[in-house]
């Protein structure tokens, strides 16, 4: 059987399965439970499980298979991955807590409860980038090469992780009657919008967009861009996606006429485009004899 056909068939099957799983929850026929299962007094939440799943798939399926494209040792990269994860998780939580400080000022113990939600993607990118940069220097690796291999895994992890927002009933958009509207339980509805039952599933918008970006990045890796080029395109594409989705979300903090996430996205896009322009169009690709 043709491998390309098999990939498309598996992808289509996955989409159908996800649809039939989510459909009754979107309609309100079933109520979402943030807890996947319980082991004695310990509750294991979907959010934490999906983060763990995205990490495992990101490294063992994506990073290990792509390491050879940049002549990197997959086993050595595991050390860098661990440091990047630590920095990413700390950065994600720290950024979220800073932006939502009034929620935590009287509940400091809740700051460490990351499995219940409350992570900032931009904080994760910043924290993960800094610790990855540090780790590549320790292990004498080229940061740009490592980043090019990491970003497809990162965006795939973001796509998977967004479903954690669904189970937590958070990060959704405004009320809507569109066919793909999502039912939100009364206790999770925003103040002032309690009378509305269905909202924009912005987690799904970002998840679908992230999956598309994942395949674009895989294609860019094959084009032999200069080291760091795939990283730059990841930052541009994801930031553009996030900028667009923010117009629909209703839980974001604003500054002036845009959300803070949109300002951050614009800054990242500008810096990434500037970096790419330093590599003139004729110098974007590696020489054939490299």
Binding residues: 162
Q: Is 192 left (phi over 0), alpha (psi -120 to 50) or beta?
A: left
Bridge partners, residue 39, by sequence: 42
Q: What's the longest Cα–Cα distance across the chain? A: 65
Q: Tokens 């799943």 identify what position? A: 53
What is the rounded CA–CA span in Å between residue 289 and residue 68?
18
Q: How much helix, strand and coil, in percent to the nearest 5, is found in the chain?
A: 65, 10, 25
Q: How far is CA 118 from CA 110, 112, 168, 251, in A?
A: 10, 10, 10, 12
Structure tokens at 225: 């861009």
Residue linked to tokens 């923010």: 246
Cα distances from 90 to residues 58, 113, 130, 232, in angstroms, run: 18, 12, 11, 23
CB 188 within 8 A of CB 203: no
Query: Distance (Å, rounded) from C-alpha 272 to C-alpha 233?
Result: 7
SS3 2: coil
Contact 34, 168 (CB under 8 A): yes
């Amino acid at each position: 059987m043709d491998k390309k056909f098999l990939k498309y068939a598996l992808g289509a099957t996955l989409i159908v399965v996800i649809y039939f799983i989510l459909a009754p929850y979107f309609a309100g026929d079933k109520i979402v439970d943030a807890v996947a299962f319980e082991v004695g007094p310990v509750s294991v939440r979907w959010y934490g499980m999906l983060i763990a799943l995205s990490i495992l798939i990101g490294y063992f399926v994506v990073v290990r298979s792509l390491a050879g494209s940049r002549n990197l040792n997959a086993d050595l990269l595991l050390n860098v991955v661990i440091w990047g994860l630590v920095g990413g998780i700390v950065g994600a939580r720290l950024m979220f807590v800073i932006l939502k400080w009034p929620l935590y000022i009287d509940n400091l113990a809740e700051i460490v409860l990351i499995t219940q939600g409350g992570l900032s993607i931009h904080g994760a990118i910043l924290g993960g980038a800094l610790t990855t940069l540090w780790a590549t220097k320790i292990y004498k690796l080229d940061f740009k090469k490592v980043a090019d291999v990491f970003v497809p895994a990162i965006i795939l992890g973001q796509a998977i992780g967004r479903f954690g927002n669904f189970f937590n009933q958070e990060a959704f958009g405004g009320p809507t009657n569109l066919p793909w509207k999502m039912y939100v339980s009364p206790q999770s509805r925003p103040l002032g919008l309690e009378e509305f039952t269905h909202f924009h599933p912005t987690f799904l918008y970002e998840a679908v967009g992230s999956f598309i970006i994942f395949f674009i990045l895989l294609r860019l890796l094959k084009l032999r861009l200069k080291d760091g080029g795939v990283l730059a395109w990841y930052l541009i594409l994801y930031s553009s996606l996030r900028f667009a989705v923010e117009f629909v979300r209703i839980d974001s903090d604003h500054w002036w006429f845009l959300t803070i996430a949109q300002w951050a996205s614009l800054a990242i896009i500008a810096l990434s485009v500037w970096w790419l322009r330093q590599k003139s169009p004729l110098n974007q690709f590696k020489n054939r004899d490299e």
